[in-house]
Structures are given as structure tokens and as C-alpha cells.
Amino acid sequence: MDSVDDLLRRLEQLNEIGTSLSRERDITRLLESILLAAKAITNADGGTLYRMLDDHTALRFEILRTDSLRIAMGGTSGIAISFPNLPLLDENGQRNDSLVAAYAAIHHQTVNIADAYSEPNFDFSGTRHFDERTGYRSQSFLAVPMKNHEGDVIGVLQLINAQRPGSTEVVSFSSADQSLVESLASQAAIALTNRLLMTQLEELFESFINLINLAIDEKSHYTGGHCQRVPALTMMLAEAVNSTTEGPLASFKMDDRDRYELKIAGLLHDCGKVTTPVHVVDKATKLQTLYDRIGLIDTRFEVLKRDAEIGALRRQLELRVKVNPDSESAIWIGYRAEMDTLEADRAFLRSTNIGAETTRDDALQRVRQIAGSRVWRNVEGVETEFLTSDELENLTIRAGTLTQSERNTINHHIVATIKMLEKLPWPSHLRNVPEYAGGHHERMDGKGYPKGLTRDQMSVQARVMGIADIFEALTASDRPYKPGMKLSQAMGIMQRFKQNGHIDPDLFDVFVAEKVYLRYAEQFLDPWQIDPINLVAEKV
């Protein structure tokens, strides 16, 4: 008979367990905690937790523990349970009432057995066989169904061999034991159901996020990989900072909720690109819109070449009366020189059309000279400017392939991202997603966009994402306008960004010291991109 003090102690223990279960986010640890708690409050030597299959046809082993035999399977043990599922129906389609756990699940009823060997209503042949192999003596059993808020059985909690407190003597599970475990099973079922519902909602939410990224990917396959790689690199760097124990970032710590919040922000950091015109995102050359307009310029050069040839031939014909071979030869030589000049100018414009990190001033001036010195006869026979003002603007882009207007269009994606994310009713554990996702184009010196934030105005997470976004862009090999950089080149640029106030210097030191760049490269970059770097990480 349990004393009043013992019952009060165990009730208090049950309350503490209930509180602990409600906080646990990981389903595997939650299930393990349920079984260990049931063993603890009943002083049971062993126990098994079963989960109901989705189709409600069988029970699946999830966690198994037997202290005296030092058996620990399932859960966090790292040892898989190889036992077959317990079917709820036999071969004839009848209820499988011969197995204790199955009976408890089928009938929604607790089963309390004092001695398995003298119990005539259940089949314990498997138990006896286990005992013969191990030298164990399975005696008292307590099987309690776990029912959710709708009354459906979602699992069974089975305990074996209650022991008298302070000894290894096996006794029956008392009525108090049964009541406490039934109460625990009820709390556990609620906690498990809530966690499963939360997991399903999170999976649904992430599926919607992936749907947005898929829409961006379908618009432009050049950005789809970016939407997956930036979150991965963000988490790599954040974990490295979380592990830092010295230096200015030693106080930064993340728990599982913080990690999930940052993961979601990473996945959504470019969701505003769904509003960006695809011809701007995919602009591979300076003259590209829906197509590369360099072909139009090629055509104009062909017209000029045709006109030059016709002109040369006409002038030669004019000499036919006089029959002057020297003059005809001079005309033809002049024509060939003009052809060479046209071909050179065409090759130059084709080369200039390919975006570069920096276009030299003399190259830009030559584009303007060609535009100002040449005309062509259009389809209507009218002489007109060789390069339109729009073509001239694009061909004189100094860096990359985007005009300032197009850069503004691209940059607007972060404004759209922030607007989209701020419209969502974020729960408290995700309330920072808009700030994390919306800050990856800000700079430490306040010269970034869209808000011009400085380092002190930004969270560590937003600064982490800024580094991840830049490094991914530098090394990505799926961009239409450039090949992926080698590590040494990308890290050299990142080093300069650290020095000029573009990225967080402390975070970059961790990035280097913990070789985050190398782990990312080994996972995402082509082998030819991974070359030695000689940066020296500052002590963090």
C-alpha cells in the first residue's frame, strides 16, 4: 500500500513530467521521455512504447528499455528495433486479443497483469522465449492505451516488472501505479498529438515556402539553386558562431527554436523575386531583353558591309569608260579596309556585350565613338543612328549586364520580400523572420539597401545571412552572366568586403577560422573551384 507521502511525491513528479513533455519539440526525445517517465514513477524495470500505424492496422515498436538487462533500443540509443509490428487483426481478420499491447489498443482499455506465466487470457509464448534466451523473468505487466483528444488510440505504453522501492523484488503494478500511468499516458498523448500537429503544420508551411521557391525557379533556373544554397550556408555559419567560446561573438547562442526561425528566414530571403521580371533576372548580356539584341547590330553591320560593297562596285563601274586598273584596285583596297574596320567594330561590340566585372574607360569611349560615327539605312531606306539610345546605354554599362534602372528593379526584390513577410501573422517564435530575411543586402557601414542599416542596427542572424548571400553569389556557377569563381578569388573579394565595411568583420573571421567556406565548397561547388587560399583568420 502506497503511503500518502509517496503518492504526493509521485503526483508532484507527474506534474513536473507533464510540464517537461509540453516543452519538448523533438518527437523522438518526447517518446523516450514518456517511457522513461512511466518507468520512473512506477519503478518498473522495463518498458516499451508502441506507436499506432497511420492505417491503424498494427502497433510499431518505438522505444524499448530493460534496465537489468541493459537493453536500450530505439529513441536516442542509436540502436534500431528490428522486432516486427504487432498486428491488430489476425490472419482471419479477427481482433488480435491474444497480445497484451494489441488488446489495450483495440479495446481502449488498460491491462494490468500480476504474473504473465499464470495468465490464461493472453499469449506470452514470445515472452517466455525471450526469457529463455536471456535468463530474464517477465512477471508483472501494465499496458496503457494512449488516446488523443478525439479518443483515438495513437500508441500503447507497456511496462514490465514493477519493483519494490529500494530493492529488485518484482511486484504487481498497484492501482496507484495504474492511475498514475493512465494520467501520464493522457498527458503524453496530448503532448505527442500537439507535437505531431505542429510538425505537420511546419511541414505544410515549409512546403508552401518551397512552392514559392519553385515558382522562382520555374521563372528562372538561375536563381532556384540560390534559394536552397543560401539557407544551407547561413546555417553552417550560424552553427560555427554558436560554437564560438571566445571573442566578441562568444555570447551568441541558439536553441532549436532559434535555428528553425533562421532556417525559415533563409528559405524566404528572396521570396520577393517572384515579382521580378524574368528578363531582368536572366539578363546574360548587356543587350538582352526577351532576346539578345546583338543580333540586330550584327544585321546592321551586314547592311553596312553590303552597302560598302555595292558602293565599291559602283565606283569601279564608273571607271569602265576610262579603263583605269590602278583606280579600280585602289577602290577595292579601300573597300577591303572598310570591311576590316566593320568586322573589328562588330567583334568589339559583341565582346563588349558580354558583361564584365569592370569595363575600361577606353572601351566605353569606343562604343560611343561607333555610335556617333556610323549610320545605317533601315528597311524603309532611311539613314538612321547605328545604335539606339537604349542600346548605347546598355553597351556602356561599366560592370555586369544591368543598367541602373534594371539594378533598381532587381534591388526592389528585397523591398517586396519585406512587404510580403511583414504581411504574415508570424507566431512569437518566428517573429524575427522578416528582419533576418530582409537585411541580407544591408552593409555594416550603412551603405546597403533598402533601409541603409548599420551593423549596430542589425541582428547577428541578418549579418550572417548577408555573408552567406554574397559568398553564394560569388561562387555560384549557374548564373547566366558569369562563371563561378574559385575559392581563392571569392575569398579575396570577401576579405576586401570585410575591410571596406561591407560585411561583418567578426563573422567573417569565424567564417575563415572554422573553415565554413571549405565545408560549403565541398558540398556545393565544382571540384575545379576548390583551390588553396592563403587568408589568415584572426583569433576569435
Contacts of 88 (CB under 8 A, 6+ apart): 56, 57, 58, 59, 95, 96, 102, 105, 106
CATH classification of the domain holding 146:
3.30.450.40
Q: Are residues 395 and 456 in the same domain?
A: no
Q: Are residues 16 and 108 in the same domain?
A: yes
What is the Cα gyration radius of the chain?
37
Q: Are residues 425 and 397 in the same domain?
A: no
Helix (H, G, I), strand (E, B) or coil at 486: coil
Q: Which three cell numbers stand for residue 206?
A: 515549409
Domain membership of residue 91 (yes or no) is yes
Q: What is the Cα–Cα distance from 195 to 192, expressed in whole angstroms?
A: 5
What pLDDT does residue 540 have?
A: 41
Regarding predicted confidence, which is higher, 384 or 8? 384
User: What is the tens place of the pLDDT at every residue in 203-244?
Assistant: 898 888 888 877 777 776 655 577 788 999 999 999 999 999
Q: Are residues 469 and 343 in the same domain?
A: no
DSSP state of 485: P
What pLDDT does residue 261 have?
A: 95
What pLDDT does residue 19 have?
A: 59
- The residues facing 61 across adjacent strands are 50
Domain membership of residue 215 (yes or no) is no
What pLDDT does residue 316 have?
A: 75
- The residues facing 63 across adjacent strands are 49, 74
Q: What is the Cα–Cα distance from 435 to 461, expressed in whole angstroms?
A: 9
Q: Are residues 244 and 349 in the same domain?
A: no
pLDDT at residue 370 above 50? yes
pLDDT at residue 193 above 50? yes
Q: How far is CA 252 from CA 163, 239, 265, 464, in A?
A: 46, 10, 18, 12
Q: What is the Cα–Cα distance from 182 to 20, expressed in whole angstroms?
A: 17
Q: Are residues 230 and 339 in the same domain?
A: no
Q: Strands 141-147, 86-87: parallel, antiparallel or unpaired by DSSP?
A: unpaired
DSSP string of 412-465? HHHHHHHHHHHTS---GGGTTHHHHHHTTT--TBS--SSS--BGGGS-HHHHHH
pLDDT at residue 524 above 60? yes
CATH classification of the domain holding 495:
1.10.3210.10
What's the per-residue H, E or C state across 100-143?
A: HHHHHHHHCCCEEECCHHHCCCCCCHHHHHHHHHHCCCCCCEEE
Q: Are residues 34 and 120 in the same domain?
A: yes
Q: How far is CA 103 from CA 56, 88, 153, 164, 501, in A?
A: 13, 8, 12, 27, 68
Domain membership of residue 289 (yes or no) is no
Domains in the chain: how many in total?
3
Q: Are residues 114 and 31 in the same domain?
A: yes
Most confident of 172-176, 185-189, 302-306, 312-316: 172-176
pTM across the whole model:
0.64
What pLDDT does residue 477 have?
A: 76
What pLDDT does residue 61 have?
A: 94
Mean pLDDT computed over 459-488 = 84
Q: Are residues 180 and 74 in the same domain?
A: yes
Of 222-226, 393-397, 499-503, the least confident? 222-226
Q: How crowded is residue 428: how many other Cβ atoms within 10 Å of its Cβ? A: 7
427 residue type, one letter: P
Q: Are residues 184 and 230 in the same domain?
A: no
User: What is the tens place of the pLDDT at every residue in 16-74?
Assistant: 666 566 666 677 887 888 888 889 888 999 999 999 998 999 999 999 999 999 999 99
pLDDT at residue 410 above 90? no
What pLDDT does residue 279 have?
A: 64
Q: What is the Cα–Cα distance from 413 to 402, expressed in whole angstroms?
A: 15
Q: Are residues 161 and 305 in the same domain?
A: no
Task: Return the closest-CA partner of residue 433 out of 406, 471, 459.
Answer: 459
Domain finish residue from 401, 432, 451: 401
Share of the chain above pLDDT 70, in %: 88
What pLDDT does residue 269 have?
A: 87
Domain membership of residue 208 (yes or no) is no
pLDDT at residue 149 above 90? no
Domain membership of residue 132 (yes or no) is yes
Q: Are residues 27 and 175 in the same domain?
A: yes
Domain membership of residue 319 (yes or no) is yes
User: What is the tens place of the pLDDT at every residue in 286-337?
Assistant: 776 766 777 788 888 887 888 888 888 877 777 766 567 778 788 888 888 8
What pLDDT does residue 13 have?
A: 61
- No. of helices (H) and no. of strands (E), the chain: 18, 10
Band of the pLDDT at 281, cuts 50, 70, 90?
low
Q: Could you list the residue range(s) of the whole structural domain that residue 460 is in? A: 220-275+406-529
Domain membership of residue 206 (yes or no) is no
Domain finish residue from 348, 382, 401: 401
Domain finish residue from 198, 230, 262: 198
Helix (H, G, I), strand (E, B) or coil at 293: coil
Domain membership of residue 394 (yes or no) is yes
Q: How far is CA 328 from CA 181, 325, 333, 338, in A?
A: 111, 5, 9, 15
| Mean of pLDDT over the chain | 85
